[in-house]
Structure 1
Amino acid sequence: MSIKHLLVIGLLSTITYGQNSVLSFKEKLLLKSNINTQTESFSVQDNGQSILVNANNTYRLEVGANYKFLGLKIGFSPSNKSSGLKSKFLNPQLNIFIKQWIQSFEYRKVQGFYQETNAQELAEFPDLKTTSWTGTTSYVLNHDFSLKHLTHLTEWQRVTAGSFTPTLHYGFNRLSNNIDAQKVVENSFDLSIAPAYYYTWAFKKYWFISSSIAPAIGVRFTTEKSNDNTQKDTFITRSLDLTFQFGYTSETISAGARFNFDNNAVNKDLKQSMVNDKSYASLYFGYRFNPPKFLKQTVSNIEDRLGL
């Protein structure tokens, strides 16, 4: 092959690389960590009054790893040592990436809640516990936009672009508590659809700013059990999730900050609804490197068997 042909091939490769709006890092192993101020809160009935209780955690830690089409993450939180109330939090998550699809399965368990009274004391609800199994299925419509760049750090979006991302949420939640010496259990199944929209501004090669809006509407089926009494209800749910994110991305590292505002409401009838607003911030850092040979071989065998 002549030098002229080599130059032409090199030029075409450079042009193609320069036109790629999204660069994939699926051949790299990503290790990431995250710290955020998100807390768990519920509205509960106490002596005929509805009160808001919170888990006694000041922040949450998350560590995870992504490689090719798989991602694993686990979240945990130390209790607030300034209070005698201990809150337990555990949150493992499995993520699957296939082309424009992102599939997530999550388990969450939180126990130990409190309420701040007017006397600046903590009213304890140590028996209040919530356990949930949830799933999320998302599809990115625009191939020039990368949701994985923002949420899983496995890609790099290098040009400004946005996309609608229809998302289906579903899951089972079990809420239990001891009230007046009797155990009360509420089981609920939730199903909702969110036509989310994301937009990312890429600038100065490595930096970006992104925002999103995700209104959702759905249905909740609940079964509440107390002693021999059982009550079943069906509610309409609605929510609004707003995010703002900025960060830095290169071939080896990703770092940034994310701010969320969530509004959730459950319509109990036409005249009454329960609303829960919360906002939180998070800092994240990810590092990419070549995977060890045993991991590369194992995942390749899985891909071959699944035909991925």
Structure 2
Amino acid sequence: MLSSPVQKARQLRGEATVIGVTLDFIVDTAANANTISAQVAGPTVQGGLELQQVGSLSGVVGAAGAFGGTSPTYSLGVAELADLPKEERIPFISGLTASALPIAAPAAAGLLGVSFLNSFPGGVEFVWGSGGVPPSITFFGDSAGTAASRAELSAVKVTSLAGSCLPTVPLRINGVVVNALLDTGSPITVLNKAAATLVGLEEGSGAAETSNPLASFAAGVKSRVKSAQAVARGDVLTVGGLHGPVQLTRTQSAVAMSLGDSASFGNDLRPYVGDLPGLALLDGLGASAGPAVVLGTDVLRRRPRMIYTAHEVFV
């Protein structure tokens, strides 16, 4: 729950009914800055919170790619965790800022990025929710709070990308190690074509060409029907990019994935293949690109929990 500067001023004037507003943010390890919807940050007459602009930011990147230009940065005021009972709420963090971008977060008011997560020295624990255990996220000021959990998990080194400081991890796919962007903001895992080839995944072949117009028409109809069925099954996804829609195709063959030698995610995973814009952060776009992967929560959730720190991730 946020109490914006405007709301805080009203509270100081004695307007007791002004108690802030509850907003949902996506916790995203693949965003190097906090973001907020421009509409949410804007004037109250347009339905916004009339947040105070405190500067501007350029060089913002995320799984959707790099955002060009400079974006206004706003103060979010004092924030509380709104899932707690009202009587138990205390100021969780202050001095938090967020930048308004063309694509903030389609399913939420904004993103809390890696700079936010790295401000917790003890790490951030993601419990995905399974076996009757509800999903949760816990922020730790020191490592003592996660010592017991870390002892039960496998540690994997995190390497920060130069410039963006986004976390990458060595993901083992079918026994082959590929550099992967750790992305808690992505519900899917995506390989570029070079990574798919490296780990033994073949692209689907197209229909054979024919000079018979009637046969060609029939083949076209059949192809469109198959495409529609693939979309309905979720085997083909179209996602937004900075320069238009991008199509991702789920692999036909299952693969095995793990972090390190002991943190297995299983051997029945079917990730997607395509030019997700965020792969550019790993130099993973284009015909000459090397292998690269965006590791999303569809795979991460195969382990009960994850503890993220700036230098290691425990799964």
Q: Using structure 1 for the length normalisation, give the TM-score.
A: 0.20
Between 1 and 2, higher relative CO (CA 8 Å, sep ≥ 6) is seen in 2
Higher helix share: 2
Higher strand share: 1
